[in-house]
């Protein structure tokens, strides 16, 4: 009888220990909203873990697209500009991350196409695009070709942009200056051919 009791006690202790064994199931954890929110809060409150998550996301093409879309939405809403003004260190990190993503030619192409589509879709976006292109000479050449193609495909948009540019005295002066220079170069070319 004592042997049976000891054996049963031993089995129950072993059974108890084995049932206490902790196993982590990410799917089950993420399925519960409270667990998921607690996990998110833990990650975003710890800067090194959050940086690690961002680095992992940058290595995943689907996550990169989502990050770009969110970035564009923040730029359009003005939130990005406000955050950058308040935190120059963040601005530097964002620029660094953008540069890393731009090193991938495929990602650079997708980003530029997405940016162009979004920006050309609103008058505020077009203004921002023009301002950015005037500041960044490399972007100026690449985006200019794409923008010209989009405007050829959509003459109404081109007309609207021209009207907006003419309403802005600074832009109007720049355009008139460029047109005069182009006119001069055409006349010189004509004279050379005669």
Compute mean pLDDT per 10 residues along the chain, 194 residues long, and list them. 67 65 72 87 88 86 83 75 78 77 75 72 70 67 72 78 76 78 70 61
The answer to whether residue 161 sits within a structural domain is yes
The answer to whether residue 43 sits within a structural domain is no
The answer to whether residue 62 sits within a structural domain is no
* Main-chain phi, psi angles of 59, to 5 degrees: -90, -5
Q: 144, 101 in Cβ contact below 8 A? A: no
d(CA 165, CA 163): 5
The answer to whether residue 78 sits within a structural domain is no
Show the domain range for 131.
Answer: 100-189
Query: Domain total for the chain?
Result: 1
The answer to whether residue 8 sits within a structural domain is no
Q: What pLDDT, on a 0 to 100 scale, did the predictor assign at position 11?
A: 64
Q: What pLDDT, on a 0 to 100 scale, did the predictor assign at position 113?
A: 75
Angle (CA) 120 124 145, round 5°: 30
The answer to whether residue 149 sits within a structural domain is yes
Q: What pLDDT, on a 0 to 100 scale, did the predictor assign at position 56?
A: 87
């Amino acid at each position: 009888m004592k042997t049976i009791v000891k054996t049963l006690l031993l089995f129950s202790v072993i059974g108890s220990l084995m049932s206490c064994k902790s196993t982590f199931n990410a799917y089950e954890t993420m399925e519960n909203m409270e667990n998921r929110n607690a996990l998110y809060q833990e990650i975003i409150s710890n800067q090194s873990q959050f940086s690690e998550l961002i680095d992992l996301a940058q290595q995943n093409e689907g996550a990169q697209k989502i990050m770009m879309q969110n970035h564009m939405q923040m730029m359009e809403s003005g939130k990005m500009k406000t955050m950058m003004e308040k935190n120059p260190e963040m601005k530097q990190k964002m620029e660094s991350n953008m540069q890393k993503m731009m090193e991938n030619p495929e990602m650079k192409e997708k980003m530029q196409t997405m940016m162009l589509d979004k920006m050309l879709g609103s008058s505020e976006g077009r203004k921002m695009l023009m301002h950015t292109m005037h500041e960044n000479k490399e972007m100026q050449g690449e985006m200019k070709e794409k923008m010209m193609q989009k405007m050829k495909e959509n003459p109404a948009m081109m007309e609207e942009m021209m009207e907006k540019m003419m309403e802005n005295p600074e832009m109007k002066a720049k355009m008139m200056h460029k047109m005069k220079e182009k006119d001069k170069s055409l006349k010189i070319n004509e004279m050379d051919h005669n």
